[in-house]
Amino acid sequence: MAVHELWTGTVSFSLVAIPVQLVSAVAASRISFRMLHAKDYAPLSRRMLCPVEGKIVPLHEIVRGFEIAPDKYIVMTREELESVSPERSRAIEIIDFIDIGDVDPVYYGRPYFLVPAKGGEKAYSLLVEVMRETGRAGAFVDHPSLQ
């Protein structure tokens, strides 16, 4: 199975910036099947069907809603959803180096690998080797508003 990147960006500390990629450390445990037409094996597509009108709803007429009671919804606009979404960043800024033993295993819930991107192999290898030899980990703030 090919590994695909989930995120690309840089790891930076002081004046050093290393291009990196984030990839999942575990493979998916389920097999995913496509729904096919038995007659000609053509892949089937999903359509949004309105149960009241019995018609397919075009994309421009679809909104998101949160159900607060049976058949009662609060409709959220794209702008409202974007306003509560965290800012996207292309950088992980290491603000300190801490003892690896100080990291509570509760934070290991979903494992990922951070790997060097093209051009960052030597600097990344040096950073990893120094952290391994010293038993240190990079500490960072995971959201710009927390800095």
Residue ranges of domains in the chain, CATH in brackets: 7-25+87-146 (2.40.290.10), 51-84 (no CATH)
Which contacts of 32-35 are long-range, i.e. CB under 8 A and separated by 24 or more positions? none
The owner of tokens 């998101």 is 64
Which has more pLDDT, 46 or 19? 19
Report the pLDDT averaged over residues 50-77: 92
CA angle 116, 121, 127 (to 5 degrees): 85
Other beta carbons within 10 angstroms of residue 120's beta carbon come to 18
* Residue 84: pLDDT over 70: yes
pLDDT value at residue 4 = 74
Amino acid, single-letter form, for residue 93: E
* Residue 95: pLDDT over 50: yes
* Residue 29: pLDDT over 60: yes
Please provide residue 75's backbone torsions phi and psi, each rounded to the nearest 5 degrees: -85, 135
Which has more pLDDT, 85 or 49? 49
pLDDT value at residue 147 = 40
